Structure 1
Amino acid sequence: MTRTLLAVAVGGALGAVARWGITEAWPSGADGFPWSTFAINVAGSFLLAVVVGWVAVKQRPLLLAALGPGVLGGFTTLSAVSEQTRALADGGHVTTAATYAVATLGAALLAVELGRRVVGR
């Protein structure tokens, strides 16, 4: 249990730092659409589906914990999507807010399906 907790913690820290770095390097567009968070969540959804479907990882629970809830859990963020959607709506950008919320969920689900197909599930 201690090794698993450490693997998740270290992975989570790495994922969170990667997310922070991407959002710093790629700020929201002029229209306010949070492209970096959108890309992070779609890529993270794809990668999580690949990791979960990858047989070699399934046979290594410590690696699965480090990569799944660790790295990718720290990398992706529903809370940022929720807050950014609220901020867009409060700022009068209701259409952009709705588009962002729906596009994020839709693209993430498509990314999961693509990830599953990549690993043959």
Structure 2
Amino acid sequence: MINIDSRSSKPIYEQIIDGIKENIMKGILQSGDKLPSVRELSGILTTNPNTVSKAYKELERQKAIETIRGKGTYVASNYKPKIDEDKLDELEKQIKNVAIEAHYMGMGKEEVIRLLEKIYKDLKE
């Protein structure tokens, strides 16, 4: 379900957020699907329950998931992506760094676009 790289510089809670979002994008998790409880997921990932709780809280803030008291946590049924200006700025910086790296690897604009299209296609399959 979610792969955690303990050697990564990215915090574990962000890896959990990214993993859940990727599973939603790939269609592995559908609108209305029940997610494991905080304790269940922390056991599966062998991580601290507070880390999973932090990830769930951020996903709720982004309205990607919803928690129903006494019933559990579910993929949001009415999720509508919206642009977060801070995240957009960060994404732009990341894409700029990718473009610079691609240039120094000898890749042209078209090759980068093809690579991005391949990644989108792989995520949708």
For normalisation by structure 2, the TM-score amounts to: 0.31
Greater fraction of residues in helix? 1
**Structure with the bigger percentage of strand:** 2
Work out which structure has the larger RCO, using CA pairs closer than 8 Å and 6 or more positions apart in sequence: 1
Q: TM-score, normalised by structure 1?
A: 0.32
Larger Rg: 2
